[in-house]
Amino acid sequence: MSRIAYVNGQYLPHRHASIHIEDRGYQFADGVYEVVTIVNGKMIDEEGHMERLWRSLGELQIDAPMKAGPLKMIMREVVRRNGVVNGIIYLQITRGVAPRDHPFPKNTTPALVMTAKRLSMDKSERTAQAGVNVVTVPDIRWDRCDIKSVSLLPNVLAKQAAKDKNAYEAFQVDKNGMVTEGSSTNAWIVNQDGKVITRPTSNEILAGITRASLLRELEKKGVEFELRSFTVEELHNAREVFLTSSTSYVLPVVKVDEHVIGNGNPGSISVTLRQIYRDFMEDAS
């Protein structure tokens, strides 16, 4: 019996069940899910799962694809079509399909996928009788910003926070009040002494390729810079601020929170560094 999945209104064999390549779940992990136990064909703790699902959707401002009633009916139908007596049902809702861009897109239809799987109660009992082993690992959820992973939900939320305040980017701040990086850019300041400063690479930021190339160009040109973390206060009081990324190149920042940077126009060093980077790109192309 081939397994049947529910995908956006259709019941399909798994081999034909697919989602769009620009689904935000696929590109940004911008979605939520639930796994519900099925015992003797019945869903266990259905209401608890529904409540948590609605809460998760609400927190991410994703519209529910339908009301709870019809959703539960589809869940039962997926269980029935897969002949699951004991097992699980998996349900995933993403923000839907939109051209890739971090902030929440407007007017997308949430995508809904469900699958069901049989599990053997006997096997579960045998495992329980023997007991299982556990190991400890550091809780690094998510402490590996150096990996260019598609788990971009925190970055999406940061970019949306920027958009909500009519800002281009959000610079993220760690627990010690130090600036880490933008949601999709690296953060830089020029302090009152004219020194260019950016955070050193570590697991706390993505090692931007633009950042690295700009540093190399600065070295070649003998422009002094310092690789160190800087505080939000230093950011607010910087002579200049700019950001770097493959999409934005070197981009001057003229306001951070309520603080106007310099005289509110792109600073001269940022403008020069942008030109240096533009020249580097010209030479490399």
Report the catalytic residues.
Answer: 148
30 vs 20: CA distance, rounded Å? 14
Instruction: Tell me whether residue 213 is exposed, middle or buried, using C-beta atoms within 10 angstroms of its C-beta: 0 to 12, 13 to 18, 19 or more.
Output: middle
In single-letter form, the type of residue at position 243 comes to: L
Q: How far is the CB of 190 from ligand PLP (least distance, A)?
A: 19
Q: Choose between 246 and 265: whose C-beta lies nearer to ligand PLP.
A: 246
- Positions that interact with ligand PLP (CB under 6 A): 155, 181, 184-186, 206, 208-211, 244-246
Backbone angles phi, psi at 234, to 5 degrees: -60, -40
Angle subtended at Cα 15 by Cα 122 and Cα 70, rounded to the nearest 5 degrees: 75
Q: How far is CA 261 from the centre of its chain?
A: 29
- Tally of helices (H runs) and strands (E runs) in the chain: 8, 15
Q: Choose between 229 and 244: whose C-beta lies nearer to ligand PLP.
A: 244
Q: How far is the CB of 138 from ligand PLP (least distance, A)?
A: 21
- Which candidate, 70, 94, 91, 74, places its Cα nearest to that of 19? 94
- Which candidate, 87, 81, 91, 92, places its Cα nearest to that of 4? 81
Q: Choose between 56 and 201: whose C-beta lies nearer to ligand PLP.
A: 201
Q: Choose between 87 and 182: whose C-beta lies nearer to ligand PLP.
A: 182
Q: How far is the CB of 273 from ligand PLP (least distance, A)?
A: 14
Q: How far is the CB of 205 from ligand PLP (least distance, A)?
A: 6
Residue 86 is given by DSSP the state S
Q: How far is the CB of 26 from ligand PLP (least distance, A)?
A: 17
273 vs 32: CA distance, rounded Å? 41
Q: How far is the CB of 81 from ligand PLP (least distance, A)?
A: 40
Q: Choose between 16 and 144: whose C-beta lies nearer to ligand PLP.
A: 144
In single-letter form, the type of residue at position 32 comes to: V
In single-letter form, the type of residue at position 272 comes to: T
- Which candidate, 33, 51, 36, places its Cα nearest to that of 112? 33
Which residues fall within 8 angstroms of residue 198, CB to CB, at 6 or more apart? 186, 187, 188, 189, 211, 215, 225, 227
Q: Choose between 209 and 227: whose C-beta lies nearer to ligand PLP.
A: 209
